[in-house]
Structure 1
Amino acid sequence: MVSILKLRLMWRRLSQRLSWPGMLFLVIAQSFITYLLFCLAGEDALTSNPIEFIYYNMVVVSTVGFGDLSPNTDLGKAIVSFYQIPSGLIIFASFISKMTQLFIDIARRNMHGNNDFSHYQQHILLLCWDKYSTAQILALILADKKRLKRDILLCVTDDMENPFPDITEISFVKISSFSDAKELERIALKGAARIIINGKSDDETLSIALSIATHSDNNANVSAHFFDSSKAKLLKMHCPQIECSINNSAQMMVRSMQDPGSSQVADQLFSTLMGATLYCLQVPKEITPCLFSDLFTHFKMQHQMILIAVSPFKNGDHMQLNPHKDVLVKGGDHLHYIADERFYAEELSWLADK
């Protein structure tokens, strides 16, 4: 029993060390030698058609059986008994063992965050891990059914395993530092279209934001969350392209006290999990300029959406909330609106299309 276990262990180690080119060579060599031996044995029925031989050989070595083909001569049967089946079983077992190990390695790398995602493009990066908010952030992203189906990559520096192994839309990577250029290449920071920075503290969020600012794409939407407004202002001074959100619990409590129900409105506006939600789209550049009041009425009647703000910049700078009816909306402006689902510019009937 001990010797059998030792042989199994030795064979498993050998199959794991065997490279894929080496495995391919063994498969081809076994098939070629079997084919030559059958030719010498006069097994014309098995060798006349190469496709039929490949089919027959695969059926035999995989232990499925002989199927509708089998050797007819005594020499052919001897070749099957003493060479084809033993050699085929060894190679087939090696292949199964190597494939199993491959899937185990892939699963282990995914759990431990060791995979390389440098090939990712136009993906969403969620930088840092917080046990209270990260799961909610990801749930809100996935709840937007009309979002562009971008890859989502959770990046952490903590010593932890993938917290969401069962969610196929989310990949996990563990890096040594957000200031390491090679690690930033591994998460394809330059190719990311959306980046969320959600540190455990404002200092961590500020540090990460400053580290990635020069490496990320200028057209990427980068957002960072702070509890201290002074840290947000500091980041804005150095990285004006990053959108900073600030904890507004105090404002929300006052609003709820003075105007009951305000917290319910805010919860729905910012959550894709229930009710109407706040979205944003860019006005196509070819659209003829029009009055905000005209566009407001048109979109409300045609698409059941409410325009609430307009800004010339993607990050919301110089935004006009509840603008005057005579404000001119131009191509390239960013419209913020409330609707039951996300709309894309090409889905809307603009005033010029009437």
Structure 2
Amino acid sequence: MLPLRRIKKLFRVLAHRLTWPTMFLLVLAQTMTVYLLFIFAGESALTRHPMDFIYYNMVVVSTVGFGDFSPTSEMGKAIVAFVQIPSGLIVFASFIGKTTQLFINLARKNMNGTSNFYHYNNHILLLGWDTSSTEQIVQLILGDKKRQKRQILLCVTEQINNPFPDNDEVSFVRLRSFSDNEELNRIALSNAERIIIDGKSDDETLSIALCISTYTNSDANISAHFFDKTKADLLKVHCPQIECSIDSSAQMMVRSMQDPGSSQVTKHLLSTLTGATLYCVQTPELKKPIQFELLFSRFKSNHAMMVIAFSHFKNGDAMILNPSPQTLINSGDFLHYIANERILVDEINWNDFS
């Protein structure tokens, strides 16, 4: 029993210490050694075609043993018994152990957030962790089924494990700090297309936003949530490109009191999980400006979408709600509309407005 334990321990040590290049060199060495010995033994049936020998060698060392190829000479049988099987089993067991260790390490990295995501591009970054809101944020993002490039990367500094281990669309990374440039490179911050900043407090949200603002892509959509309007105003002074949302529970309570059902309308407009909701599309290069009245009627009849506002700016500054019929919509304007699902810009026949 003791020798068996030592052998198992030896295999674990080999799997842990061997590098992949060394592992492949061992496989190659074992294969070439046995191949040359069979040539010396005159086993032409096994060595005539290299692919046949590779197949035969793998069948033997993996202990499958189909029996369709086998040595015929006494020397060939001795090579199998004393060289091919012992060396092959050691190399094969080490390879299996190395592969198993690789998958174990990948699973551990996924759970503890130590993986490197520098290769990510056009992804969604969710910065910060809050037990009461982060899970709902992820559900709402994934609820938009027509959202393109929906890979989410959840980034936290807390000592937690991956809260979404079974969701392939959500990756997890644990950072030392949001101000560490090396860590920001690890999450491919400069390549992110959309960023949500949702700290456990307004101070944390403000701190994260200020730390990352210098390194983000100028075209990235960045939003930060605050409870205190003064913190949001402070961020807008330093980072005007970031869209700040402010808790509106007080306004919602008053609106529901004055106009019953308002809270349900707002709930549906903001949720991608059920029914019609609020979306945004940017107009492409237009041949000439379009009157809002024409745009509204064509969108409603052709796409069942209702335009309710537009802005010249991505972050919604100078938003115009319920524009007058004669208002002109220009190239690059951001149209905010209500629809049962997202309508992509290339799904609209813009020449129809000419």
Tell me which interval the TM-score lies in, with the shorter structure as reference length. Answer: over 0.9
Asked whether the 8 Å contact 1:268–1:277 carries over to 2, the reply is yes
Corresponding letter in the other structure for 2:288:
T
Q: Distance in 2 between matches of 1:64 and 1:279?
A: 58
Q: Secondary structure at the match of 1:158?
A: coil
Q: Distance in 2 between matches of 1:349 and 1:56?
A: 61
Alignment deviations for residues 163-213 of structure 1 (CA, whole Å, 9 cap, x no partner): 110111100000011011111111111111100000000000001101111
Q: Secondary structure at the match of 2:141?
A: helix
Q: Where do residues 126-165 of structure 1 align in structure 2 (5 Å cutoff)? A: 126-165=126-165
Q: Distance in 1 between matches of 2:6 and 2:86?
A: 20
Q: Where does residue 216 of structure 1 map in the other structure?
A: 216
Structure 1 unaligned residues grouped into runs of 5+: none
Corresponding letter in the other structure for 1:58:
M
Q: Distance in 2 between matches of 1:95 and 1:304?
A: 58
Q: Secondary structure at the match of 1:125?
A: strand
Alignment deviations for residues 82-106 of structure 1 (CA, whole Å, 9 cap, x no partner): 1111111110000000000000000
Structure 1 residue 353 displacement after superposition: 5.8
Residues 351/40 of structure 1: CA separation in 2 closer, same or farther (3 Å cut): closer
Structure 1 residue 288 displacement after superposition: 2.6
Residues 45/133 of structure 1: CA separation in 2 closer, same or farther (3 Å cut): same
Q: Distance in 1 between matches of 2:280 and 2:117?
A: 29
Q: Where does residue 193 of structure 2 map in the other structure?
A: 193
Structure 1 residue 149 displacement after superposition: 2.5
Structure 1 residue 3 displacement after superposition: 3.6
The share of aligned pairs that are identical, in percent, is 62
Q: Secondary structure at the match of 2:72?
A: coil
Q: Distance in 1 between matches of 2:267 and 2:136?
A: 13
Structure 1 residue 11 displacement after superposition: 2.4
Corresponding letter in the other structure for 1:165:
P
Q: Where does residue 267 of structure 2 map in the other structure?
A: 267
Q: Distance in 1 between matches of 2:306 and 2:93?
A: 64
Q: Secondary structure at the match of 1:310?
A: strand
Alignment deviations for residues 273-312 of structure 1 (CA, whole Å, 9 cap, x no partner): 0110100000011343110011000110111000000111
Q: Secondary structure at the match of 1:97?
A: helix
Corresponding letter in the other structure for 1:120:
Y
Q: Secondary structure at the match of 2:104?
A: helix
Asked whether the 8 Å contact 1:288–1:352 carries over to 2, the reply is no
Asked whether the 8 Å contact 2:294–2:353 carries over to 1, the reply is no
Corresponding letter in the other structure for 1:284:
P
Structure 1 residue 150 displacement after superposition: 3.1
Structure 1 residue 14 displacement after superposition: 2.0
Task: State the aligned residue count.
Answer: 354
1:308 aligns with 2:287: no
Structure 1 residue 77 displacement after superposition: 1.0
Task: Detail structure 1 runs of 4+ shifted over 4 Å in the superposition.
Answer: none
Q: Where does residue 344 of structure 2 map in the other structure?
A: 344
Corresponding letter in the other structure for 1:245:
S
Structure 1 residue 74 displacement after superposition: 1.4
Corresponding letter in the other structure for 1:194:
R
Q: Where does residue 119 of structure 1 map in the other structure?
A: 119
TM-score with structure 1 length normalisation? Answer: 0.98
Q: Secondary structure at the match of 1:308?
A: strand
Q: Where does residue 36 of structure 2 map in the other structure?
A: 36
Asked whether the 8 Å contact 1:309–1:323 carries over to 2, the reply is yes
Give the RMSD, CA atoms, in angstroms.
Answer: 1.1
Q: Where do residues 1-354 of structure 1 align in structure 2 (5 Å cutoff)? A: 1-350=1-350, 352=352
Corresponding letter in the other structure for 2:247:
N
Q: Secondary structure at the match of 1:38?
A: helix
Q: Distance in 2 between matches of 1:52 and 1:210?
A: 63
TM-score with structure 2 length normalisation? Answer: 0.98
